[in-house]
Structure 1
Amino acid sequence: MNKIEEMIEAIEEYIENCKPVPLSSNKIIVEKDAIEELIRELRLKTPDEIKKYQKIISNKDAILADAKDQADSMLNAAKVHTQELVNEHEIMQRAYSEAEEIKDQAYSQAQAILDHATEEANQMRYSAVQYTDDMLANLQRIIEHSIDSNRSKYESLLSALDKDLNVVLSNRNELAGIGTDEEPEQPEDDAAAGLQDSGDYEE
């Protein structure tokens, strides 16, 4: 409670304690000196209270101004921080987009390299198969030619040997007829053995 309020309460209390005027319900008897003293004290204390309130108001304005400055500073800091977050988000989005683009390019390049390598491998495999087949075909021709050539030579050899064998047999028969009455044994076994040996040679 301030001093002015104290003086006002003192005046109100004084009035409550004053005696009423006879035959009147709203008039009282006051002592002039007492009421004047209360009013004088009220007047003396009023300037001090006014100064006090002015100081409070002045301090209040300063406090409000300081609070406003702090609020503005915090608001500016929040705006800066928000802008930094926005910039950081944009940077992250840009970095993510660039990373995705790089990944797609790398995948495309890797796929192209793989396709090219696969194509080259298939081409090399086809060339190797073709080369091997050509070599085998050439070898087949050589073997077939060799077989045909050797078969012809072998058949000629067998024919010559067969003629020689017939000559030998004929000579032996002639010799047998001249030298003795006994008929010489036919060298069928020898001839068969010779043919068998010739057959083994063919194989």
Structure 2
Amino acid sequence: MDVLKLLDEIEDIIEGSSTIPFAGKALVDKGDILEIIKEIRIKLPDEIKQAEWIKEERQRILAEAQNEADTMVKEVKIHIEEMVEQDEITKLAYERAEEIVSKAQNNAKEIRIGAREYADGLLKETEVKLKNIIDTLEKNRQELNNF
């Protein structure tokens, strides 16, 4: 992740800078820090776009799972209607239809749950990374403002 590398650069600049004895302060090249912050501002929208893509992908997966479940249910209903027409196997048809509907609903539920968990995991990971970036930026700004 480019933003994290840039934050590492800021950290390296601060750690490698001259210190003011007994003050706990560091002398840094303002231009270097500002240039890196500028690069972070340029790259940060890409990270946000990635998070938006993950959200859209999650919605697409959920919609796809719902469509698949709907199609399965329609197929099961058609199959049930065909079997009901045959008097000899009406009882078996009802049992089989219920079994198919139940499997279709369980499959759709598992697909939806899996898609949600996957998307939530990706969003959580992105959220944590963005929070770390923001925390680091706030810390660095505070340190710069303390001069």
Taking structure 1 as the reference length, what is the TM-score of the superposition?
A: 0.35
Higher relative contact order (CA 8 A, sep 6+): 2
Give TM-score scaled by structure 2 length.
0.46
Larger Rg, first or second structure (1 or 2): 1
